[in-house]
Homo-oligomer: A and B are copies of this chain.
Amino acid sequence: MHKNIVAEAGLIAHGRGEAFDYLLGERTPNFAIRQETLAVILLLEAKKPVISVNGNVAVLCPKELVALSKELGAPLEINLFYRTKERELAIKKVLDDAGADQVLGIDPDMQETIPELSHLRRIVDSRGIAQSDCVFVPLEDGDRSMALRNLGKNIVTVDLNPLSRTSLTATVSITNNITRSITEMIEIAKELKNSSPDQIKMLRGTLENKKLLREALEFIVFRLKKLASEESALEI
Contact = CB atoms under 8 A, between A and B. Distances in A.
A81 interface: no
Contact of A12 (B14, B213, B231): B14
Contact of A236 (B221, B225, B231, B233): B221
A23 to B, nearest CB: 9
A235 interface: yes
Given A11-B12, A15-B14, A16-B15, A234 B210 contact: yes
Contacts of A143: none
B217 A234 contact: yes
B20 A15 contact: no
A232 B220 contact: no
Interface residues of A, number: 34
Chain A interface, >50% SS class: helix
Nearest to A18: B16
A162 to B, nearest CB: 8
A218 interface: yes
A59 interface: no
B18 A232 contact: no
Interface in A178-228: 210, 213-214, 217-218, 220-221, 224-225, 227-228
A221 B236 CA distance: 10
A168 interface: yes
Contacts of A217: 224-225, 228, 234, 236
A117 interface: no
Interface in A1-50: 1, 8, 11-20, 22
25 contacts: A1-B8, A8-B11, A12-B12, A12-B15, A13-B15, A14-B15, A15-B16, A15-B17, A16-B18, A19-B20, A22-B161, A162-B234, A163-B228, A163-B231, A163-B234, A168-B232, A213-B232, A213-B234, A214-B228, A217-B224, A217-B228, A217-B236, A218-B236, A221-B221, A221-B236
